[in-house]
Amino acid sequence: MSKPNPIELQKYLSGVDYPAQRDDLVRAAEKNGADSDTLNLVRGLPDRTYEGPSGVSKEIGG
């Protein structure tokens, strides 16, 4: 599974009000037309509060 670049990821997560829960991120990615690989990555994030886009990118990027 390929990881989206940070710009693509933030495009799929546009409209999220941070701090946000994983479910908020999943809903935004679905609404913004994320591909299945990206959706699976977002769904696989730890269930916690994310303070901003950089935290999400860091978690996905490893």
**What's the confidence (pLDDT) of residue 61?**
82
pLDDT(2) > 80 = no
Helix (H) or strand (E) holding 41: helix 36-43
How far does Cα 50 stand from its chain's mean position?
A: 10
Tens-digit pLDDT profile for residues 4-58:
888 999 999 999 999 999 999 999 999 999 999 999 999 999 999 999 999 999 9
Say how far apart CA 51 and CA 33 lie, in whole Å. Answer: 23
Say how far apart CA 18 and CA 2 lie, in whole Å. Answer: 25
**What's the confidence (pLDDT) of residue 62?**
64
**What's the confidence (pLDDT) of residue 5?**
84
Residues in the chain: 62
